[in-house]
Amino acid sequence: MRIDIITCLPEMLDSFLGNSIVKRAQSKGLVTIEVHNLRDYTTTAYKQIDDYQFGGGAGMVMLAEPIATCIRNLQSQRTYDALIYMTPDGKRLEQKAVNAFSLLENIIILCGHYKGVDERIREQFITHEVSIGDYVLSSGELAAAVLSDAIARLVPGVISDETSALTDSFQDGLLAPPVYTRPVEWEGKTVPEILLSGNHAKIEDWRFSQALERTKNRRPDLYQNWTDTNQ
């Protein structure tokens, strides 16, 4: 899978790309993530990428032209299955959408900055508008990193324990159950005995009931969805 990220702040993605799962995915050749600096696609002497908004008001708007040039340059090299714009007014990201994105071959992620991009870019090119939550970040780079990480870890072979991604919170519509590691006793608190029993069927039952309980208490909205579809 290939992810092309278009940004005016490429340095913001350096530590994300240089670490963890995403780095491993890239070095294994399973995922390619290329970052494109919008300033390389400007035609003005000052490498201008934004301007004042028509109608007045605070905040700059990202110019259509450098974005369009960058997108068209990428599109001339390969076919893209999705062109995603990170924006707080997009559709709130959920695991189901991440799963669907992870099945695509080539995607572009456009990071917004300042007041966002000229609306005509959205009309002309964007296939999905994605928000990572109901709060406003100073720019779309962190949101693009969140989305890329969530996608990359689902690509087969990226996570060494194949089943681990499937047992994440949300994958079955429930939050994940609690987990423990050594020591068995820590500061007077002990690991639930069932986990030490070696009885895998019973352990799975326990995990499932804990997942249900946790979801019911912490996310009644998810719990309701789960009971509606499973009972």
Q: How far apart are CA 204 and CA 202, in angstroms?
A: 5
Do 42 and 68 touch, CB atoms closer than 8 A? no
Site for ligand ADE in 3-42 (CB under 6 A): none
Using CB under 6 A, which of the segments 65-73, 128-136, 158-166, 182-190 binds ligand ADE? 128-136
Under the criterion CB under 6 A, does residue 136 sit at the interface with ligand ADE? yes
- C-beta of 67 vs 132, nearer to ligand ADE: 132
- C-beta of 80 vs 141, nearer to ligand ADE: 141
Contacts of residue 86, defined as CB under 8 A and 6 or more positions apart, other chains included, come to 109, 110, 111, 112, 130, 131, 132, 140, 143, 144, 147
* Residue 87 identity: T
Under the criterion CB under 6 A, does residue 88 sit at the interface with ligand ADE? yes
Q: How far apart are CA 123 and CA 115, in angstroms?
A: 17
The footprint of ligand ADE on this chain (CB under 6 A) covers a number of residues equal to 12
Site for ligand ADE in 163-222 (CB under 6 A): none
Closest separation in Å from C-beta 68 to ligand ADE? 20
Do 152 and 22 touch, CB atoms closer than 8 A? yes
Contact residues toward ligand ADE (CB under 6 A) are 86-88, 112, 131-133, 135-137, 140, 143
